[in-house]
Amino acid sequence: MAWQLVAEVLDHAPRNLTALERYLLVILAEYTKDIQGRECERSTQDLAWRMGLSTSRVSHILADLAEHGVEVRVPLKKDGRDHVDKRGRLVYTARGKVPRYRLPRFSPPAGCPCLACYEAREGSSIQRPSERSSDAATLDKRSLESADKVAGSSAEGRYIRPERSPDLATPNVPGIPVTRSPRAHASDAARLAEEASASEDEINTLVEKITAERPDVASPVAWLRACHKRGDLAEMLAEVRTEYQRARVAGELERARLDRRMECEHGTPGGLYRRPDTGRSATCAQCRATQRTEVPTDAA
C-alpha cells in the first residue's frame, strides 16, 4: 500500500467532495501499490464491499467524482485508442475485464496544514547551511572545538557546557523571519477557544477559512482574538455552527437513505428520518403532508 497516496487524498483532495467520494478515493489509494504509476485494478464488487454500498451506488459515486473534475476511471483500449460505444461515450468496463483506476495528482489547497506543506512553506524561508557565510561556519566550528576541549579536560569525563563569548556566538542573519511552531499555534487557538466559549475545532475551522481567504493576515489566531475583543467573533462562530449543523443533517440524511430499515410505510428510502430543524420527514412528501396536521406534544 502506498500510504503516501492515502495521506495525499486525505489532505489534498478537493474540499467540495462529499464524504463518500473522499472515502472512495481513500480506498483506491490503499489499493494502489505503485506511487509513481498511481494505478490499480479492482472490481466494482470489491469497492462496493469496502464501502458497504451497492455496485450501482459505487458507479454513481464514480460518475459524481468525474463531474467534480476528479476522473479516476481509465477507459478501455481498442485498437490502441480509447474505446467508445455507439453514442460516443467512453467505455470503462466490460464483461471479463477488471476496471482500472488512476489517481490524479492533487494540488494542495491554500493554507494546507499537513506536515509536508508546512515543511515546504517553512523550508523556503529558512536559510540552508550551504547558504550561510563562511565566517559564520568558521565560528560554529570553533565553538564545537571549544566544547570538545572542555569536555575532554573534565576530571570525571562529564560534559561541561562552555561559556560562549560574544565573538564565538553565531551572528543573527538578517532577512530570516522568526516563525512559530504548530504547537504554539495550537496552544493559542486553545486559549482563544476557552475565552470565546467555543471548541478548538470551531476556532481551527475559522483559522483555515481566514488562511485561505485572507493571505494578508500574518497571524489568523491574533486576528480572531482582535475580533473577539470587538465582539465580532460571536457572529463568525454562529456561521461555523450553522455549517456544522447543515453537514450533520446532510450526513444523517445520507445514512438514512442508505439504511433500508428507514423506509416509511410508503416505501420511500429514508422516509422515517425526520429532520431535526423541521421535525418532518426528509424524503417522503406523503409523510410530510400527514405530519403537517400533527398536533405538537406541548400544545396538547
Assign residue 44 the CATH number of its domain: 1.10.10
Contact between 174 and 191 (Cβ < 8 Å): no
With b for 16 or more beta-carbon neighbours within 10 A and e for fewer, the 37-49 pattern comes to: ebbbebebebbbe
Give the span between the Cα atoms of 16 and 19, in whole angstroms: 9
C-alpha to C-alpha distance for 288 and 268, rounded to whole angstroms: 12
What is the pLDDT at residue 256?
66
Low-confidence ranges of the chain (pLDDT < 70): 1-2, 123-185, 256-261, 295-300
pLDDT for 27 equals 94
Task: Give the integer Cα–Cα distance in Å for 146 and 162.
Answer: 7
Please give the backbone phi and psi of residue 239, each rounded to the nearest 5 degrees, phi first. Answer: -65, -40
What is the rounded CA–CA span in Å between residue 185 and residue 178? 14
Confidence at residue 129, expressed as pLDDT on a 0 to 100 scale: 44
Does residue 143 belong to any structural domain of this protein?
no
Contacts 24+ apart (CB under 8 A), 106-113: 106/8, 106/9, 106/12, 106/13, 106/14, 107/12, 108/11, 108/12, 109/12, 109/14, 109/15, 109/212, 110/211, 110/212, 110/215, 111/208, 111/211, 111/212, 112/11, 112/12, 113/182, 113/208
**Cell 557546557 sits at which residue?**
161
Going through 131-180 in order, the beta strands assigned E by DSSP cover none
Q: Cell 439504511: give the residue.
A: 259
Q: What residues make up the domain containing 53? A: 3-102
Q: Does 135 fall in a domain?
A: no
Number of compact structural domains in the chain: 1
Q: Is residue 35 part of a domain?
A: yes
Asked if residue 299 belongs to a domain, the reply is no
Q: Report helix, strand or coil for 101.
A: strand
Residue position matching grid coordinates 431535526: 276
Q: What is the pLDDT of residues 239-294, one digit of tens each?
A: 888 888 888 777 777 776 666 567 788 888 777 778 777 778 778 888 888 887 77
| Domain presence at residue 91 | yes
Q: Establish if 124 belongs to a structural domain.
A: no
Q: Which pLDDT does position 177 carry in this prediction?
A: 41
Asked if residue 169 lies in contact with residue 153, where contact means CB atoms within 8 angstroms, the answer is no
Q: Please state, in angstroms and rounded to a whole number, the distance separating the CA atoms of residues 120 and 115.
A: 9
Residue 265 falls within a domain, yes or no? no
Please check whether residue 84 lies inside any domain of the structure.
Answer: yes
- The answer to whether 100 and 39 have CB atoms below 8 angstroms apart is yes
Per-residue pLDDT at 168: 38
Task: Identify which of 50, 47, 67, 72 has the alpha carbon closest to the alpha carbon of residue 58.
Answer: 47
> Residues, the chain, total?
300
